[in-house]
Amino acid sequence: MSEVKGLKAGATGIEQMTSSDTIPVANVPDLTSAKITDFTEAAQDAVGAMVADTDTINLTYTDGGPELKADAITQMSITSDASGLKLSGDSSSPGNSKYYGTDSGGTKGYHDLPSSGSETYTAGEAIGAGNLVYVSASGTVMKADANDAAKAAVGFAPSAISNGATGTIIFNDGKLTTTGLTAGARYFLSNSATGSFATYASLTYASNDIQQQVGVAESTTVLRFAAGPTILIA
């Protein structure tokens, strides 16, 4: 191990101190406990003076400890606990096909993705497979028609339903199987054939017709149905 030895001014210059050499007490600083405490306090005050919060971190310095704590500033859906930052209603294993947000009751967390929302309705007229429909005032489903603002499409029938019979209607997001589509093209409710849809370029609108996008073709045989808002043609 290295050894540190004192030096002194001798007859021939700077010499190494021997074991018999002494250092005058007057040359040794008087390091009392009070002075050490004063030095410690000054160092703590210097640290405290340097502490500054940021937009995301709140720093708290306690001189008596001494203790320096850093707390992340949380807001909105961001919260924290002993394990760290997290979302309100967070989960370590939320499962597949979930979304983070609020449910119908406003509770934050992971919730199931909306389904296609299929329901059973009675047909007010004969409905063909793939026909777009609206719900009439009497509660039956009828073929949607762009000639009438009250007959905007809200869903479609995956299978044919006879007049007066009950059948399945798919609302919201659903896959409508058909033929002759142009992949990637947007389709609109038809004003020439009730219950049908067509590309925008193939439609000619008249006054009081409605323009409503009803989906995008995923392929030549599948329309991803999504009932869009209506625009009334002046």
Residue 50: strand, helix, or coil = helix
Report if pTM > 0.75. Answer: no
What are residue 121's DSSP bridge partners?
167
What pLDDT, on a 0 to 100 scale, did the predictor assign at position 1? 44
- Burial (CB count <10 Å: 0-12, 13-18, 19+), residue 6: exposed
Give residues with Cβ within 8 angstroms of 32, minimum separation 6.
none
CA dist 62 and 41 (Å) reads: 12
Tokens describing residue 216:
């995008």
AA letter at 6: G
pLDDT of the chain along its 234 residues, tens only? 445 555 656 666 666 667 666 656 555 566 566 655 666 666 767 766 777 777 777 778 776 667 777 777 777 778 777 777 878 778 777 777 677 887 767 788 887 665 557 889 999 999 999 999 999 999 999 999 999 999 999 999 999 999 999 999 998 778 999 999 999 999 999 999 999 999 999 999 999 999 999 999 999 999 999 999 999 998
Provide the residue ranges of all domains of the chain, joining segments of one domain with +. Answer: 34-72, 78-112, 118-232
Decide if 209 contacts 144 (C-beta within 8 A): no
DSSP state of 128: -
Q: How far is CA 102 from the centre of its chain?
A: 11
Q: Where do the H-state alpha helices sit in the chain? A: 33-50
